[in-house]
Structure formats: C-alpha cells, structure tokens
Structure 1
Amino acid sequence: MVEQQNTSTFSRNFYRDEPAYRAYLVDGNGKIIWAELIPAHDDKDAMSLIRAMIENHAIELWDRARFITRLEVSKGLCAV
C-alpha cells in the first residue's frame, strides 16, 4: 500500500490529491486582511461558499497555489 503525503494548513491535514481551498479577504489596496479555510470538494462548491461570505471586501478563492476567481464587493460577480 502506498502512503500518501499530506500537508498541514490552518491545523488541518490535506492529502496531495485533495483540494485545499482558501478564501482571502482583500482590502482596497490589494492586501490580504483575512484568510479562511473553505471546506469544499470542488471548485463549484467552494465558489458557492465564498459568495455567501462577501460583505465589505473583495474575496479571492485559491486551491493551494492555483488562483480560481475573485469576487468584488460592488458586483458580487466573478471578475477574473
């Protein structure tokens, strides 16, 4: 049996073949002011969850080093 390596992020372990979604709240200057681990199984689920989070700041969705989308406050729509 092959053992999978895992990585730890925000006190949770992720296997290499498992998505590790994070939402970053971004201020008006483009600086990250908060990061949130997103418990989703695919991009579609993760995007649905961050749409519910949007309030006063833009949100960027990432899966590890892969940028997925950015939601803007004024529009609440994806602007990639």
Structure 2
Amino acid sequence: MDVHPPKPPHLHDQSRYRAFLLDADGNVVRTEYLAAETDDAALALAEPMANGHAVEVWDGLRFIEHFDALPVSGYN
C-alpha cells in the first residue's frame, strides 16, 4: 500500500525538487516542480525564476537554497 501522495507522472524517478516563488512578504505565490536529479541541477533551474520574486528550493522537506528577488528584466 502506497501511503505517499503520488508525484506528477514525469517526476516518479526523480527527487521531489520544488521551487517556491515568494512575494515581498514571503508568501508563496506559485510552486514549480523541477525536473532535476541533483541539488545543483535544481538550483540551475530555479535561479532564473528569481525574476521579480524571491525563490526557495526544496527537496521534499529539505531546504536547499533561497534566491533573493531580482528586478524584473524587461526590454530596453
């Protein structure tokens, strides 16, 4: 009997990496699953998401990294 909630189908064989995008008050505004097999790969996928939002990277309940929000990049 499986007592864990199922992961999205494309993540069954990978870690449970997620990026939480945070607003200025630290509230989660969006969660993104990261298709990564290592911490470094997850960080490489999450860092660009800090465009206007702070980002925290987690592997299940294990905190990995916090990226401060960067100014939103726009076109000049």
Q: TM-score with structure 2 length normalisation?
A: 0.76
Higher-strand-fraction structure: 1
Percent sequence identity is: 29
Cα-to-partner distance string for 1:9-53 (whole Å, 9 max, x where unaligned): 3x33636xx411000001111100000000000000000111122
How many residues matched?
A: 69
Conserved? CA contact 2:21–2:49, under 8 Å: no
Q: TM-score with structure 1 length normalisation?
A: 0.72
| Residue aligning to 1:55 | 51
Give 5+ residue unaligned stretches, structure 1. 75-80
What are the within-5 Å matches in structure 2 for residues 30-41 of structure 1?
30-41=26-37
Higher-helix-fraction structure: 2
Q: 1:5 Cα deviation (Å)?
A: 7.5
Higher relative contact order (CA 8 A, sep 6+): 2
Q: CA RMSD in A?
A: 2.5
Give 5+ residue unaligned stretches, structure 2. 71-76
